[in-house]
Amino acid sequence: DLTIEQFAGIVYENWGYSPLFPFTETWRDGVLVLVSKADRKARIEFGATWAGDSDREAAYIMDNILVPAF
């Protein structure tokens, strides 16, 4: 019973520590776009480096690209 925000955070963190993606500090610069078509939910999860700097851009992408695609 996780929210999409919680699930995206867990996926992003686990991806960063996965042996398939050797850990480097640069993974904290990444962005995860998670879309659950059946639930009609989406989330843009930023690495720690972003620290809220791209919230406006994420909102634009959600409102103008992802949500209309549903």
Taking only the tens place, the pLDDT of each residue in 21-67 is 666 667 677 888 998 888 888 999 888 777 777 888 889 989 999 88
Q: What is the pTM of this model?
A: 0.71
Alpha-carbon Rg for the chain in angstroms: 13
CA gap 11, 25 in Å, rounded: 17
Please tell me whether residue 34 adopts helix, strand or coil conformation.
strand
Q: Given the structure tokens 């919230």, which residue do they identify? A: 55
Q: Which tokens is 55 given?
A: 């919230």
pLDDT tens figures, 47-58:
877 777 788 888
